[in-house]
A and B are shown apart, each in its own frame.
Chain A
């Protein structure tokens, strides 16, 4: 794309940055409606029990209480973010399945009364045996968490690509290792909230919700409340982070709507931080065993991968998570022969769901760790092994992915160079080390369930460019990116763009923020819409200027003939004469975009090209391990990233920084600690994720490819970068102290224990090579 760009590619601050800094941006909890009531949810204090009886009479009698609802009262409609995996009621009907399960809700004139009323509800439980570990839950005789689900295994897949048995027979060395990745909470700064209003005269429900997917929420509310979708309007105010945790419907959405409908008054629910930790979603804890067969030179021939995901009490995204963890084993490395076995197992614990990377971070941790371990055992260079096995653009893929552009091997080289791999790896003093890890992620996922993004651009006489988009900006800057794309096409500065995003009553359909798709999906849709506006205007002007439409350009609020700026007019003049010609104003353009695919695939049943493109990256870490306290300091993190062309490099950096902290958290700090089904650290203080002062020096290296599908060549930059920081850090720890950690997180205590153990058995090497020739 040889085109001079002005707004696209510019380092522009987010359009709402100043508002957010000043505190004037309106999040759901900032919204106040006349006569508003406040809700609160009663949650189960037991991990597994039958609900025998719920006595709400005392709560109802408390002055100020306006309504109480329990599972008995609500329609018999199960909910689930993936249609084939619905297994959850907004409020538990007959059984609770984890400490924190939603049991009942009250609504009162102020939050204090609501809180008090919740405590007055008496629930009789018949406690059932509970199970807290997926491997135990899978055994015969384990407590049954959902009726009819054998061995608590709600999803199991076994896939084979290539001829694995034959390939293993041809390997020079085969290794098998077992890993564990812990539960991690998304911990968005804004707790989940909803405010609902109902107009009994026209039967219309409006809900403001901190959601990532307004259109899914609309559908799910319609389903669970049994009211037509056309009567549900979801508005997304500012959202303070989601990371996948806000794609689901929650009791707060359902109950706010329920009470609004019942009482005809606006009702607000805001979760406590504790509720965010316990009763929303978390990254699935996963036990993983990987068997990898290689040639002597480090070429991967075959892999066998077995995963047990601890799903907690419900499915949420179970099938998608399992599918992703499977298919993304075959990228960014060439794995021609693969057997994947994955199980999603219920336990009486908080629920697993989509979280930045969605099933892939756990798998990446295992694979990237094992690659380093194998390289060491075979005496190969870990960076070289990655380059050798790198997938390349255009090559056939065992699962039928189509790789248009791929900067992976380049990213390994660049990250290695930047961290000083040659000089440092294996050569730093005890306690200091470097490590790296690679990854790939789908960009612009839309090849599932026929989802498409729409956009409308309206250009009025005042020169303001009105963009309607269904994209859900949850803090990543989606609205800014879309506005940049529109501004670029129309040749105006970004200040001229007014974007209305994510109001299902006004804006066109959009799948929302998931699958790293917003820039690609909604960006492309907006681009098509603005091109259509521009064409209408150009067609009109071309006559006036006696020029060819194809020769016209829009730039700096002017329209002129390419090469002769004097032959043209200002945008404002053009609009004036358009209107004076009695042509319909505003000029409206519509765009709709969906990934080009003959057959969409969810990957649940059949292979196929899951995403229109794939991003690639390598992250390299340098760590310092304090041998006395066991504390690991992440000194530096380099990310070499192929995200196509960055629409806004500053926002890409923001994503990178966030992913580095997230990766650090996963590697070193974060763990949702559960004892007997109870989360022990449900607060920012006790959960202890890294903060600003723990941030390392961060270097971002662009590996630019020009993607043919993304708008202006862009690919995703949201989730992919979250995949490899954790294994890169753990690999660096190995380089620093010679200990192979197989479980996350690596706390100072574990470091000290490992160092001690290492001292104790200096001589006994523990190679786990099953066959070595």
Chain B
């Protein structure tokens, strides 16, 4: 399969990149390309222009100042999980990054690219010819949805591995735009709209991911359940973070809904409690209700719900184990 034609830009600075994007509002940012190029070959994304940001110098870093750990947008997933600071203090992030795709995706794929990856659907991630057997769906620019027969809503799922880990860490992101930069909660990046999953304005670039230092005091874990160990998107992924002293907990899921999901109700139920088996049973039951998985993959929604409860327990027990040791 071949790439559709596009104009190519390789800016040397963020500023330059932003200004190109201003002039070409439907241009696409290219980082590792492991998500974008596949979609372009399938012709579900045909941007008139590509802005390759890999040539921008200072976007590949992991640094710590007196307020936060800051990770540059272009930092590769491998760099993240190979960094001892992350491994030791933020294991949930290292684990999530190390489960993405296969080794190749981890060396090519960047953190921002991973967070900003497209939603997925079995009717969408297919070649142009394949899709020609059915009317074009909303997400690909058409009039109907093959999964849910409702007007104008796309239920495609967000399947990225790293987002739930960062949600559990309450991460913020720095978005650089034409006029200024804004710092927002990562959670607010995701719109929940399958057709346009990100709340980014034209011309905006995700520049940095920010994790407050106090997050390092908690314990955490990410568990991904997938078909194969070597490669595969999650069927469900679950991230958990806890401050044992404060009995404060955070839970996030991926591949269970149209966006990566902070499970606020589950957290509200758990917060302040000791995590006994009974409490966990109840939390698991709640977890299954918190998301709205839709059958956008070959896996059933019942199975996804089951896994959510199950993985919540597994991540909790893994985190507790870590708290002890």
Contacts and interface: CB of A to CB of B under 8 A. Distances in A.
A669 to B, nearest CB: 7
Contacts of A115: 1-2
Interface in A679-733: 680-682, 685-686, 688, 690-694
B298 A673 contact: yes
Given A274-B127, A688-B232, A46 B133 contact: yes
Given A681-B298, A748-B303, A694 B228 contact: yes
A688 B230 contact: no
Contact of B129 (A45, A692, A748): A45
Interface string A741-771: 0000000110010000000000000000000
B130 A692 contact: no
A628 B310 contact: yes
Given A119-B128, A628-B310, A272 B225 contact: no
Nearest to A278: B130
Nearest to A110: B2
Nearest to A688: B227
B130 A274 contact: yes
Given A748-B303, A749-B303, A685 B231 contact: yes
B182 interface: no
A178 B164 CA distance: 44
Contacts of A272: 1, 127
A752 B300 CA distance: 12
B230 A99 contact: no
A111 interface: yes
Interface in A630-683: 669, 673, 678, 680-682
* Size category of the binding interface on chain A: 20 to 34
B2 A752 contact: no
B2 A112 contact: yes
A629 interface: yes
Contacts of A691: 228-231
Contacts of B15: none
B228 A43 contact: no
Contact of B298 (A43, A686, A690, A693): A686
A115 B227 CA distance: 33
Given A111-B2, A693-B230, A45 B307 contact: no
Interface in A616-630: 628-629
Given A629-B310, A749-B299, A749-B303, A682 B231 contact: no
A743 B201 CA distance: 50
Contacts of A112: 2
Contacts of A99: 133
Contacts of B233: 685
Contacts of B298: 673, 680-681, 686
Contacts of A748: 303
Contacts of B125: 686
Interface centre among A673, A685, A694 (most CB of B within 10 A): A685
B325 interface: no
Interface string B113-149: 0000000001001111110111000000000000000
A634 B176 CA distance: 49
Given A112-B2, A628-B310, A682 B130 contact: yes
A274 B127 CA distance: 8
Nearest to A43: B129
Contacts of A274: 127, 129-130
A550 B250 CA distance: 85
A650 B125 CA distance: 40
B133 A45 contact: yes
B273 interface: no
Nearest to B311: A629
Contacts of B300: 749
Nearest to B3: A112
Interface string A107-135: 00001100100010000000000000000
Contacts of B322: none
Contacts of B307: 629
Contacts of A45: 129, 132-133
B264 interface: no
Nearest to A691: B230
Nearest to B131: A45
A628 B127 CA distance: 36
B221 to A, nearest CB: 16
A482 to B, nearest CB: 34
Contacts of A685: 231-233
B133 A693 contact: no
Contacts of B122: 680-681, 686
A493 to B, nearest CB: 38
A661 to B, nearest CB: 12
Interface string A28-48: 000000000000000101100
Contact of A678 (B133, B302, B306): B133
Contacts of B303: 748-749, 752
A99 B1 CA distance: 19
B104 to A, nearest CB: 12
A397 to B, nearest CB: 43
A525 B300 CA distance: 54
A628 B44 CA distance: 37
A648 B134 CA distance: 51
A678 B131 CA distance: 10
Interface string B155-194: 0000000000000000000000000000000000000000
A168 B302 CA distance: 45
Contacts of B133: 45-46, 99, 678
B225 to A, nearest CB: 6
Nearest to B125: A686
Contacts of B130: 274, 678, 682
Contacts of B231: 685, 691
Contacts of B225: 629
A690 B130 CA distance: 25
A693 B227 CA distance: 11
A768 B90 CA distance: 56
Contacts of A690: 228
A628 B311 CA distance: 10
Interface in A314-334: none
Contacts of B299: 749
A417 B35 CA distance: 49
Interface in B261-318: 298-300, 302-303, 306-307, 310
B34 to A, nearest CB: 12
Nearest to B298: A673
A752 B229 CA distance: 20
A285 B136 CA distance: 30
Nearest to B134: A678
Contacts of A693: 228-230
A669 B231 CA distance: 14
Given A688-B232, A748-B303, A749-B299, A669 B127 contact: no
A685 B128 CA distance: 17
Interface in A258-316: 272, 274
Contacts of B227: 669, 688
B238 to A, nearest CB: 12
Interface string B243-273: 0000000000000000000000000000000
A741 to B, nearest CB: 17
Contacts of A673: 298
Sorted nearest first, the 5 A-B pairs with minimum C-beta distance are A45-B133, A693-B229, A691-B230, A693-B230, A45-B132
27 contacts: A43-B129, A45-B129, A45-B132, A46-B133, A111-B2, A112-B2, A115-B1, A274-B127, A274-B129, A274-B130, A628-B310, A669-B228, A678-B134, A680-B122, A681-B122, A682-B130, A685-B231, A685-B232, A686-B122, A690-B228, A691-B228, A691-B230, A692-B230, A694-B230, A748-B303, A749-B302, A749-B303
Interface of A: 43, 45-46, 99, 111-112, 115, 119, 272, 274, 628-629, 669, 673, 678, 680-682, 685-686, 688, 690-694, 748-749, 752
Given A46-B133, A686-B298, A691-B229, 7 more contacts: A45-B129, A99-B133, A115-B1, A678-B133, A682-B126, A691-B228, A693-B229
